Structure 1
Amino acid sequence: MTKISRRVAVRSAAGLAGAAATGAGAAPAAATPADGARTKGHVEERTDAGARGSGGGPGRWTAAELRDRRRVLRLGFTEEEADCWLLVARAGAAFFALPQTHPSDTPDVADAVHVVQRILMQRPAYKKYRKMGEEEEPPPPVR
């Protein structure tokens, strides 16, 4: 039986989660080929994140990332939260594509990525919770 390291498992999970597949030629969101040609496996989707000053600009998401993006939008993510979700996954995948310099970096980075993903997943529920509370008991008037 083949032994699978945590690094390989996290790299595989990041790829399945819509991250830029390591070794598949995925470019960062703001990168474009110099000759203007599309990178194989990428679908261009313009987002308005750059218009809001986030530095995002037009996104170049893979087909898998677009599927993941649609799922998190259906969960209640905003456009910006969905962009953040994909960029966090890409950052994790990019880190795990680097040569390993210390074994403890692997679990630390995996934990960091999961912390951000957990917080992003909580945001839609928390917004709904706050809205429900305001509907039940409106905030006191400001004096």
Structure 2
Amino acid sequence: MTTAADLMHSGVRWISDTETLDRVAELMRDMNVGAMPVSDSNDRMCGIITDRDIVVACIAAGRDPSQVTAKELCKGTPRWTTTDSGVSEVLQEMQSHQIRRLPVIDGDKRLVGMISESDLAGRLPEEQIAAFVGRIYAD
């Protein structure tokens, strides 16, 4: 059975909720990623910041990214999956919440990877990807 561990890309790290958005943007650039999970002071995931979040909720709103923290943009309940989750569980989580990136944690609740649309596209059959895309982008 294919699991989240098989689908994910590793080398992911999270940022502190006290990190400023200008620094988050620099890290995204340096790591060539479009999203980073955010941890609170207890090393628990409290959200995820995307490059789009920084542009829309900060820059386009006239705010200074050197003065806005990741915590200010984290809203809602963070979503994730575990390394041993099957493909159907991963797809269901992403589809039901219409999210395009899903952090992966291990049994010790440590961040070990991220699953993105491109990870799925490279590892799943075309029919499964087509169904996923149809659901994730549904209004």
With the length of structure 2 as denominator, give the TM-score of the two structures: 0.30
Computing the radius of gyration from Cα coordinates, the structure with the larger value is 1
The structure that is strand-richer by fraction is: 2
Bigger relative contact order (CA 8 A; separation at least 6): 2
